[in-house]
């Protein structure tokens, strides 16, 4: 630590070397792969934009691409809408009640991902518990196939699985709002709803932005959920990418689709960073 220039350079080389080999070079190989092509089972390393041209001009792939974005945006919005009241309640609780609710919300986050989807799959399905329950209490006259292994099932499962993830960032941003602001709002005789709309909601915007972007990114990168509850027709973009690395065996094309996915993710994260950073609209 009492470094001469030599030691400092050595440490720098080591640090950036590790980061380069473990993180940067793999991501570069991924980007490069999207510019290659396949010839049978051999990968031809002549750079070409063919994969991107093919993807962008294929109506089936583009259809799935936009549908997946729509689906994940929907998941993000609904998950955040559900998460906000939960975060609000969590923030208002004290002591043991708060601790218990916090555990109830966080425990599913670390519970095996595959098992959560499995649990869902065993109650969905034409003959599943959800259908029987809905018929039993008279909501439906007969079993519906509305959520039986299609995109609706994917939407439902992703929303429920991701909503707890959305609670935490909103909760943290609510915690950061100084109590004095609420008192000030009360002193100025703002009604509770008015105080919420003009003080709490705008100041929790960074949390909302994080919750929206985080759930969107998690949903769009998932291929296990669609595979397990999407059935044969519930195709998502992630599933198509995954298939290129499996049965279809076209790594360059799969990588190009992966790059498109990455661009969407980066755009959404940039947007969220911007939305979270804008000065709060407290004057409205």
Partner 1 sequence: MTLSLTARTLLAFVTAGLLLAVYGPIIVTIAGAFLPIKGGMIQSLTPSLDAFRSLGKDPGLVRSVMLTLVVGAVATMVAVGLSIALALYAVRRGGRHARIVAFIVFIPFVMPPMVTGLSLLIFFRDLGIDRSLVTVTVGHVVLILAVAYRLVVTRLVDLGPSLIEASLDLGASTWQTFRLVVLPNIAGSLAVAATLCFALSFDETLVTLLLTGTDSTFPIKLWGMTRLGISPAANAILAILLLVTILLASGGLFLARRNSTARAD
Element spanning 51, H or E = helix 50-57
Residue 102 C-beta: closest distance to partner 1, Å = 7
Task: Tell whether residue 184 is a contact of partner 1 (CB under 8 A).
Answer: no
Of 187-246, binders to partner 1 (CB under 8 A) are 192, 200, 217-218, 220-224, 228, 238, 241-242, 245
> 281: which 2 tokens?
């609209």
Say if residues 204 and 121 touch (Cβ distance below 8 Å).
no
Task: Tell whether residue 27 is a contact of partner 1 (CB under 8 A).
Answer: yes
Candidates 37, 51, 80, 91: give the one binding partner 1 (CB under 8 A): 91
Residue 270 C-beta: closest distance to partner 1, Å = 11
3-state secondary structure of 153: helix
Query: Count of residues binding partner 1 (CB under 8 A)?
Result: 85
> 44: which 2 tokens?
């031809």
Which of 235, 251 has the CB closer to partner 1?
251
Rg (C-alpha) for the chain, rounded Å, is 24
Between vectors from CA 47 to CA 55 and to CA 50, what angle results, nearest 5°? Answer: 20
Which of the ranges 49-57, 108-116, 145-153, 275-283 carries the binding residues for partner 1, by CB under 8 A?
108-116
Taking each helix axis as running N to C, give the angle between helix 237-245 and helix 59-92, from 0 to 180 degrees, rounded to the nearest 10: 120
**Computed from CA positions of residues 41, 60, 47, 269, in that sequence, does the dihedral angle turn out positive or negative?**
negative
Task: Tell whether residue 249 is a contact of partner 1 (CB under 8 A).
Answer: no
Of 117-176, binders to partner 1 (CB under 8 A) are 117-123, 125, 127-129, 160-161, 163-164, 174
Candidates 9, 92, 146, 184: give the one binding partner 1 (CB under 8 A): 92
């Amino acid at each position: 630590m009492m470094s001469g220039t030599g030691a400092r350079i050595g440490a720098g080389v080591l640090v950036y070397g590790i980061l380069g080999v473990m993180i940067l070079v793999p991501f570069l190989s991924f980007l490069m792969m999207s510019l290659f092509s396949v010839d049978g089972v051999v990968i031809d390393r002549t750079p070409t934009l063919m994969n991107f041209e093919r993807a962008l001009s294929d109506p089936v792939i583009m259809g799935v691409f936009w549908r997946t974005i729509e689906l994940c945006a929907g998941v993000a919005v609904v998950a955040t809408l559900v998460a906000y009241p939960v975060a609000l309640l969590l923030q208002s609780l004290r002591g043991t009640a708060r601790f218990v609710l916090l555990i109830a919300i966080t425990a599913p986050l670390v519970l095996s991902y595959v098992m959560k989807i499995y649990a869902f799959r065993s109650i969905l399905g034409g003959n599943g518990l959800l259908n029987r329950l809905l018929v039993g209490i008279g909501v439906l006259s007969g079993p519906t196939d509305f959520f039986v292994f299609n995109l609706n099932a994917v939407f439902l499962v992703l929303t429920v699985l991701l909503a707890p993830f959305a609670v935490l960032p909103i909760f943290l941003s609510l915690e950061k709002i100084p109590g004095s602001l609420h008192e000030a709002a009360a002193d100025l005789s703002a009604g509770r709803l008015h105080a919420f709309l003009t003080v709490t909601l705008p100041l929790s915007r960074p949390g909302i932005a994080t919750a929206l972007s985080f759930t969107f990114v998690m949903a769009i990168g998932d291929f296990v959920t669609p595979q397990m509850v999407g059935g044969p027709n519930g195709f998502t973009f992630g599933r198509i990418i995954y298939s290129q690395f499996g049965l279809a065996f076209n790594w360059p094309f799969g990588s190009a689709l992966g790059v498109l996915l990455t661009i969407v993710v980066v755009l959404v994260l940039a947007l969220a960073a911007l939305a979270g950073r804008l000065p709060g609209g407290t004057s409205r």
